[in-house]
Structure 1
Amino acid sequence: MKTGNTVRRAGTALLATLTLAVLPALPASATGTTGAAGAAGWHGAWAASPQAAAAPFGPNWSQQGFADQTVRQTVRVTTGGTRARIELTNRYGTGPLRITGATVARAAGGGAVEPGSLRALTFGGRGSVTVPAGGTLVSDGVPFRTSALDTLTVTLYLAGPTGPATFHQVAGATSYRAAGDHRADTAGTAFTETSSSWYYLSGVEVTGGPGTARRDGVVTFGDSITDGAGATQDADDRYPDELAERLAAAGTPRAVLNHGISGNQVTNDVSWAGEKGIARFKKDVLSERGVGTVILLEGINDIGGSGPSYPGGPTPEVSVNRLVEGHRNLIRQAHARGIKVIGATLTPIKGSSYFTPENEAKREAFNTWVRTSGAYDGIVDFDRAVADPADPDRILPAYDSGDHLHPGDAGYRAMAEALDLDAL
């Protein structure tokens, strides 16, 4: 697990502290979060796309929600500063969400935090707050020096019943739950339950660092291959993580914000996998502060989702032309906000549950369009980066997580290394 001040590729490490304040839920266009780095130089450092309560991949805590329970969640920031704040979301809540209290600290492994680092969070100067259904809340900023590639924990105490929870299903990190109020605990003893999802927490922002006055953040937008399905749990080995490590190792740490959702599609809404990409792009990408580039890797679920192996049952078939138009829509949205777009080819699927001759023909046709259309500001050929040279329609075995659809840790590393850092 790459935590604390250790970076596998010998980069600089950076991280932070927090407190919170309430903002009314506003449409993305009204929050002032795009364009330059934003008011006071606030800049995204970590993110996760919200989803409605569901359990397509097994039990989690989203459908029942919480009552008189404490949830402790761990995230790794990708850029640093001298002040920090967090974002909580009730985007898909069916009623108001009461946060009775919260703390933040540096992670110490498991459910524990570093002694002396734990701080109470405030919301507009108060210790508790209610987030309306559909709303998002941004904390008060507090002095707390942050460093890229360090980990922190955010702990929420939820005294009253919350109802179904807005969450992010595939966290790739372990969250912890305890009965009662344990927000001030430094030990992890009380946190006897675990989950592999994040709940209500959708962002961490920083200011005061060398990069927060610049608009150089990178959003990775896509589905499970961006989300990191197939990567080792709690190891921060998704391709966006590896990209953040490359940037830190080069001495230029920058925000890399992961807005992948497993199962997500560009053109179809999916109840358990989020709104279609062309709809959620405004909420998840254009609302981020300080972003200058987005990497688009999405479409394999549009192609494979019409088959019987898609979780929850088939979705409407999507033609190559419709998928292309979906990408053109995303490009237009990004360009309207002055954001550069890097298009990515779809990775191999041979041997997976998505593979049919028809689906492979669609994948190859779409990849040809990505490589030759000139529609993007740049491209990255993830297909060729992870393909088996002896069988290019298949992921190289050393890069395969085992399902022939998702890369494993080595495959995600190869994807990150295929990116031209200068192009970002």
Structure 2
Amino acid sequence: MTMHRLAAAVAATCALVLVGGTAANADPRPRPSSPITVTESALEGAHGTSPDATVRNVLTVTAPGARLRVRLSNPFGRGAVAVRSVWVGLQPSPSSPALTPGSDHRVTVHGSPSVGIAPGTSVWTDPLPIHVRPGDHVSVSVYAPGAPVDDHTFPPPQSDTPGSFLSTAAGDAGSDETGSAFGAFKPGTLWWVDAVSAVSPARGTIVTLGDSITDGYHADGGGPRWTDVLAERINALPPGRRLSIANAGISGNTVSVQPNPYDPTNQCCGPPAPERLNRDVLSLPGVRYVLLLEGTNDIGGGDYAPPAPAQQVIHAMDGIAARVHASGHKIVGATILPMCNAAGSAREAARLAVNQWIRTSGAFDAVLDFDAVLRDPNDPTVIYEPWRHDCYHPNATGDKRLGESIDLSAFGLSTPH
């Protein structure tokens, strides 16, 4: 890297604009424990019917807590999901379906070990006597043969969570702590499970609402997603200042209400952000902040939708910010990354116009200038090559830079001295 590029990159790594003054630091005193969302993986569509097998979903929590509850959802199925059993345990490593001995618990919903989830609804399990620490892997084994599969199935090319194992024989294998009943790990694939909550000393949850860049698509080399880097940084703070991270990224998602650019069935990429805002963000326990990073798929377009004009994207973002504020939460906006749009093209003009609005409109409580962090200083229409997987996506190094660039004062936090 030349000295010019290095200087520009360093200058960009803490690109933050605070709207309405400097964000106050969090109260460092311990707070009474209350329910928050300790992890999330938003569901994107319905794909087929479950075989007579058990799926062992694995998610990683981002804050400490106890009295775990799991949310099971059927937002897209045309029929009910008849859940016969759910088991929740702790998994020492996502590379193996084996569980920590003695950690697996059969779950109930309103006291019953089975539950029907009607189309378009969700259920929360009863609290479980399980304690978790940041970074712990929670397994949720669900047996629902013959049910419509509401899933997250856009796997990133890495071996870490979220992901799942499917049992290799018929029947309920949820109580198998050895893991011998299960096959290979499927990264990025979850069935029905979309959130886990816990009673936690952390003071709330940041929900990251986004597309593939948030989902972790092509964090090449098995590196953590930028949201995971952010969670690690926050967990280095004193306990009374911490927040959990709930990742509501869905690859291919759009921020405006329109046909999906990649799939005419609208099952690949989740409903547009305004339509899923209540389910994937506002309905979660403990939400204090929303971080919005979307718009790439709208502006880029695809085979099934033309590139969106700037005003369409701005209108959608403005509406999301207004609804988040009306719910009593704060919202942080992130600028759209370079997309390889030619300088002077309609798509690049739209991206620049949206980013200018994000930076200056006052719609957000704070702004993270991700564009400035990753753009090539010699060609601002592209992500700097060592940090780029392709025109839209950072690689693992780019994700790391994004996560490290975030000024924690955007969330009322201060870094340790």
TM-score, structure 2 normalization: 0.82
- Among residues 114, 119, 141, which one is paired with 1:133 in the alignment? 119
Mapped contact 2:338–2:375 kept (Cα < 8 A): yes
Q: After TM superposition, list the pairs within 5 Å mapping 1:265-414 onto structure 2.
A: 265-267=254-256, 268-270=258-260, 271=266, 272-305=268-301, 310=302, 313-350=303-340, 357-401=345-389, 403-414=390-401
Q: Deviations over 1:125-152 (max 9, x none)?
A: 2221111122201010122112112111
Displacement after TM superposition at 1:384 (Å): 1.1
Displacement over 6 Å in runs of 4+: none
- Separation in structure 2 between the aligned mates of residue 372 and residue 412 of structure 1, nearest angstrom: 25
Equivalent residue number for residue 45 of structure 1 = 38
Query: Does 2:212 correspond to 1:224?
Result: yes
Mapped contact 1:269–1:275 kept (Cα < 8 A): no
Question: Helix, strand or coil: the match of 2:146?
Answer: coil
Structure 2 unaligned segments of length 5 or more: list them: 1-32, 261-265, 412-417
Mapped contact 2:71–2:195 kept (Cα < 8 A): yes
Equivalent residue number for residue 5 of structure 1 = none
Mapped contact 2:307–2:347 kept (Cα < 8 A): no
Equivalent residue number for residue 203 of structure 1 = 195
Displacement after TM superposition at 1:116 (Å): 2.0
Structure 1 unaligned segments of length 5 or more: list them: 1-39, 54-62
Question: Helix, strand or coil: the match of 1:369?
Answer: helix
Q: Deviations over 1:181-226 (max 9, x none)?
A: 211112233212543311100110001x212xx4x31111111111
Equivalent residue number for residue 108 of structure 1 = 92
Q: Deviations over 1:160-188 (max 9, x none)?
A: 3113x111123543311012221111223
Mapped contact 1:78–1:253 kept (Cα < 8 A): no
- Separation in structure 2 between the aligned mates of residue 64 and residue 96 of structure 1, nearest angstrom: 13
Mapped contact 2:37–2:198 kept (Cα < 8 A): yes
Mapped contact 1:171–1:198 kept (Cα < 8 A): no
Query: Does 2:161 correspond to 1:161?
Result: no
Query: Does 2:140 correspond to 1:144?
Result: no
Mapped contact 1:349–1:355 kept (Cα < 8 A): no
- Among residues 169, 181, 188, which one is paired with 2:179 in the alignment? 188
Q: Give the aligned residue type for 2:40.
A: A
Mapped contact 2:105–2:128 kept (Cα < 8 A): no
Question: Helix, strand or coil: the match of 1:274?
Answer: coil
- Among residues 247, 253, 277, which one is paired with 2:234 in the alignment? 247
% same residue: 33
Mapped contact 2:73–2:122 kept (Cα < 8 A): yes
Query: What is the aligned residue count?
Result: 361
TM-score, structure 1 normalization: 0.80
Question: Helix, strand or coil: the match of 1:393?
Answer: strand
Mapped contact 2:343–2:381 kept (Cα < 8 A): no
Q: Against the structure 1 CA distance between its residues 185 and 355, is the aligned structure 2 distance closer, same or farther, given a 3 Å change threshold?
A: farther
Displacement after TM superposition at 1:366 (Å): 1.3
- Separation in structure 1 between the aligned mates of residue 45 and residue 393 of structure 2, nearest angstrom: 23
Higher relative contact order (CA 8 A, sep 6+): 2
Displacement after TM superposition at 1:101 (Å): 1.0
Query: Does 2:412 correspond to 1:421?
Result: no
- Separation in structure 2 between the aligned mates of residue 120 and residue 150 of structure 1, nearest angstrom: 19
Q: Deviations over 1:370-423 (max 9, x none)?
A: 12222211100001111122322211222112x231111111111112211122
Question: Helix, strand or coil: the match of 1:67?
Answer: coil
- Separation in structure 2 between the aligned mates of residue 76 and residue 122 of structure 1, nearest angstrom: 21
Q: Against the structure 1 CA distance between its residues 143 and 391, is the aligned structure 2 distance closer, same or farther, given a 3 Å change threshold?
A: same
Question: Helix, strand or coil: the match of 1:143?
Answer: coil
